[in-house]
Every structure is written in structure tokens, then in C-alpha cells.
Structure 1
Amino acid sequence: MDSFIGIRFKNETAKRFQEFSKTHFKSHTEALETMLDFFFYNEISPKEKLGPTGRTIEAKLLKRINAVIAIMRDVEKTQTKPTVAMIQSLFEIEEPKKKPLIVEKKYAEEQPKVRFREKQNHHNEH
């Protein structure tokens, strides 16, 4: 059977440890061993900060994602939609409206329509 040893802690620290231990482990010994193993195997000191927490990383990511969304919306509004509209207008086929020629009456009446013309022979001489 394992023997136990008493270690003195301040009341507040002992209560915090007991609550933590009850929440996550079967015994106080298992809790303390797991914590010590964590620091030993990961080669870190409990006094050093590991950097940003999951919450701060998430907040930064959300800000960046929102910035990217804003950029994409701006590109869509200022570049993509106008470009698509221009390209569509190029490919739309509209028959040009046929407008009658505006000719003064005196010229229109003077030029009778010619129905037949004589064929002119063109000889290519070498």
C-alpha cells in the first residue's frame, strides 16, 4: 500500500486544488501527477505563458474573416458586377433599328430608279 505525506498549503490554494481535482480526476494524487507529467513531457514551465489562448485566437480570426468578407463584397460591387454588366452588354444581340434615310424631296424625285444596267466587260491584259 502506498504511503502518504502531508504537504502544507495556504487554505485558498488547497481549496482551489481540491475543487479542480474533484472536477477532473479521481484523486488529488492523480491530479497532481497529471499536472507534473504535463509540464515535464511538454518541457514547459508553469510560470511561462504559452501565448494567445483559444478565445483570443478565435477573436482575431473572426476579425480577419470579417475583413476578408468586406474586401470581397467591395470587389464584387466595384469590379465584378460592373465588368459582368459590360461583358453581357457586348454579347446582347439587338437588331439595329432601321431608320429611313432622310433625303430632300428634290433629290429623291430627280433620281429615277434604274432597274437594269449594262454589263461592262473588263479585260485583264497580260
Structure 2
Amino acid sequence: MDSFITIRFKRKTAKRFQEFSKTHFKTHTEAMENILDFFFYNEISPKEKLGSTGRTIESKLSKRINAVIAIIRDMEKTQTKPTVAMIQSLFTNEEPNQKPLILEKKYDEVKKQVKFREKGNQNNKL
């Protein structure tokens, strides 16, 4: 069995450590070993600030995700949907209404437009 040693802490700090230790570990020794290992393996000092908390990181991620969603929706509206509509219109089997060309004349129309004038009724004023 390992021997114990006494370490002196202020009463307030000792109470905080005991509460922390009871909630996360079985013994106070195990809690202290894990705390020391954490700082040793991660190569950080307990005096350093680690930066943003989990809540601030979550809110930043949420904002970025919302921005990405807005970009994707805009792409759907401006690029994807019109492109899909154009491709679908290419593959439809409907033939467009064919209008006759302007230069094309039908025989019946030419025959109806021809009119004869009598020579006797016109005055020759040229």
C-alpha cells in the first residue's frame, strides 16, 4: 500500500477540490493524478487562458452554419433551379409551333391578291 503525505491547502480551496473530486473521480488521489496528467500531456499551464468557452464557440459555429445555409439556398435559386429547368426543357418531346417563313408564299394567297384593272377607267397622267 502506498503511503500518504499531508499537503496544506486553504479551507476554501480544499472544499472546492473535494466537491470536484467527488463528482468526477472515486478518490482524491485519482483526481489529482488526472489533473496533473492533463496539464502535462497537453503541454499547457494552469495559468493560461484557453480562449473561447464552449458556448462562444458554439454560437460562432452556429452563425457560420447559418451563413453556409444561406449561400446554398442562394445557389439553388440562382444556379441550380434555372439550370434544371433548361435541361428539362431540352428533353421534353414537344415540338414548337412552326410558323411559316416570311418568304414562303402559298399558291392560294398569291392568286387572291392579284387584281386586274380596266384600261378604260384610268387616266394616263404619267
Q: TM-score per shorter chain, which class?
A: 0.5 to 0.7
Structure 2 stretches lacking a partner, 5+ long: 101-105, 115-126
Structure-2 residue corresponding to 1:16: 16
In 1, the alpha carbon distance for the partners of 2:22 and 2:84 equals 63
Return the offset for 1:70. Answer: 1.0
Is 1:48 paired with 2:48?
yes
**3-state SS, counterpart of residue 103 of structure 1:** helix
Q: CA deviation at 1:19?
A: 0.5
2:109 aligns with: 103
Instruction: Please tell me whether residue 3 in structure 1 is matched to residue 4 in structure 2.
Output: yes
* Aligned residue pair count: 107
Q: Deviations over 1:79-119 (max 9, x none)?
A: 221222233223333234467968266259xxxxxxxxxxx
The residue correspondences of 1:1-126 to structure 2 (distance < 5 A) are 2-9=3-10, 11-97=11-97, 103=109, 106-107=112-113
What is the percent sequence identity of the aligned residues?
73
1:93 counterpart SS class: coil
Instruction: Write the distance in 2 (CA, Å) between the matches of 1:97 and 1:38.
Output: 78
Instruction: Give SS of 1:21's match.
Output: helix
Where 2:6 maps in the other structure, the secondary structure is coil
CA gap of 1:99–1:32, structure 2 versus 1, over 3 A, is: closer
Cα deviation 1:15-62 (Å, max 9, x = unaligned): 211100111122222222221222123221001122334443333222
Q: 1:106 to 1:43 in 2, by over 3 A?
A: closer
Structure 1 residue ranges without an equivalent (≥5): 109-126
Distance 1:33 1:78, change over 3 A: same
Change (3 A) 1:81 1:16: same
**RMSD between aligned residues:** 2.8
TM-score, L = length of structure 1: 0.65
